[in-house]
Amino acid sequence: AKLSDTVATQGVFTVCKMQDNSNATISGKVIALDNVQDPSNMGAIVRTAEALGIDAIITHQGCDIYNPKALRSSMGSMLRMNIAYTDDLRSCLTDLKSQGFAVYSTVPDNNAKKITDIDFKNNSVCVIGNEANGVSDDIKQVSDALITIPMLGRAESLNASVAASITMWEMLR
């Protein structure tokens, strides 16, 4: 009861050393999380990234990857994925661009390029924004393009983990 933050535990606990992600290698297909705050979204995004074969995740601000809810919803993926943390996402993305990466920011905007029209054959980073405010303006400014998921219904936007899942699927098609 002292260790768990849930009422009905599974009765299994472990103690692990936190990964040192300061020298994480970033290559291939990458998702960058710009201030994603909801632990359930964080865990679901990482779990989906592992399932689909995304190469790396970059986190900036937002939820701690070791948050118990994030760990639980990732079903262990948080401990297996290549996850890097940055204090300066703009600088990180600018550095990746200099290494040949294409950088895309996802936005709920009909004027943005449709994600289905983007060629993700080369190294690419797709930025998923904060649940309430989306991708920050300074990150949009360094992006090669703003991309959107075409929606036919009346909803104005998607949940961050859902948008990330669709984005990752499109990156790997």
- Using a 10 angstrom Cβ sphere, with 0-12 exposed, 13-18 middle and 19 or more buried, the burial of residue 142 is middle
Under a CB-based contact definition with an 8 Å cutoff, are residues 86 and 141 in contact? Answer: no
DSSP reduced 3-state for 105: strand
Report, in this order, helix, strand and coil percent for the chain, each rounded to 5.
35, 20, 50
pLDDT at 115 over 90: yes
Average pLDDT, the chain: 91
- Contact yes or no for 169/52 (Cβ under 8 A): yes
Q: Which of 12, 11, 18, 64 is nearest to 42 (CA)?
A: 64
Q: Check if the beta carbon of residue 74 is closer than 8 Å to that of residue 47.
A: yes
What number is the average pLDDT over the span 52-64? 95
Count CB-CB contacts under 10 A for residue 87: 8
Determine the average pLDDT of the residues in 57-78: 90
| Listed range (9-23, 50-64, 86-100, 159-173) with the worst mean pLDDT | 9-23
Q: Which residue has the higher pLDDT, 34 or 19?
A: 34
pLDDT at 24 exceeding the cut of 80: no
User: Residue 168 in contact with residue 52, Cβ under 8 Å?
Assistant: yes
